[in-house]
Amino acid sequence: THLSNRRAFIERSEFEFQRAMRTPGSPLSCIMLDIDHFKHINDTHGHPAGDAVLVQIARILMDGARPYDEVGRYGGEEFVILLPATPLDQAGRVAERLRSQIEAGRINTNGTTLQVTASLGVAACHPAKDTNSINDLLQAADTALYQAKRGGRNRAVIATR
């Protein structure tokens, strides 16, 4: 995917988190994304098809990122984007745009055309509301992601913390 792995993402994100905490009024948001029904893709179409999906999603995320955003692969079919200087409402719009692009995309593999969707969780730093580390920010985005999945998938949910 040519993206940062989880460890590298967290290391780089820690720097941005500390900068946001030192700079009043400097928002920092995070989007966590999970490909819907990814296991089914692998089980039905094989792991090469799953790999093609991962590469396509990574490309969409990188194309949609600014040069100073950090995009990483967080786990199997989970991705994460750190958005410095981005308030929560704007991050929500970015998440919805990415969700829509993923849904509209088509992946051709082994003579089959796949359409995938993703669920996204969006959160922002709120030092007064117990966001004291990059892990707190990631946890808030992850909680919103699971709300998106429980709400029917293929949606972006903004954390209400």
Residue numbers annotated as active site? 77
Measured on CA atoms in the order 96, 67, 139, 28, is the torsion positive or negative?
negative
Q: Are the beta carbons of 46 and 23 closer than 8 angstroms? A: no
Q: Give the tokens for residue 87.
A: 């308030």
Q: Which long-range contacts (C-beta less than 8 Å, at least 24 apart) are formed by 63-71?
A: 64/94, 64/97, 64/98, 64/101, 70/4, 70/9, 70/12, 70/13, 70/16, 71/3, 71/4
